[in-house]
């Protein structure tokens, strides 16, 4: 299946792109994150386990267990603080 992946803030800056179409075998958002980390380099650093990364599926906040379907949109972004 193919999903659209969007990156925001410092993650976008680290990867040098705001979005991309990704062919994936992942069943859920966490699996997609693991596939992206496996690309190594900037992906491994920006999305590393242990780093605080927020997730959204089709513009709704989600957990890593959220199930993926063909055509979904997944977003990765760092936590945001307000003031």
List Cβ neighbours of 35 (8 Å cut-off, separation of 6 or more): 22, 24, 25, 26
More reliable by pLDDT, 81 or 46: 46
Please compute the mean of the pLDDT values over residues 47-67 and round it to a whole number: 96
| Proportion of the chain above pLDDT 90, given as a percent | 94
> Over 60: is that where the pLDDT of 81 sits?
no
| pTM score of the predicted model | 0.93
**Annotated domain spans of the chain:** 2-77
Report the CATH number of the 2-77 domain: 3.10.20.30
Write down the pLDDT at residue 83.
55
């Amino acid at each position: 299946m193919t999903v659209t992946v969007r990156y925001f803030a410092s993650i976008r800056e680290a990867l040098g792109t705001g979005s991309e179409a990704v062919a994936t075998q992942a069943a859920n958002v966490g699996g997609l994150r693991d596939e992206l980390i496996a690309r190594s380099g900037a992906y491994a650093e920006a999305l590393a386990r242990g780093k605080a990364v927020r997730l959204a599926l089709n513009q709704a906040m989600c957990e890593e267990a959220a199930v993926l379907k063909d055509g979904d949109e997944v977003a990765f972004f760092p936590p945001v603080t307000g003031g």
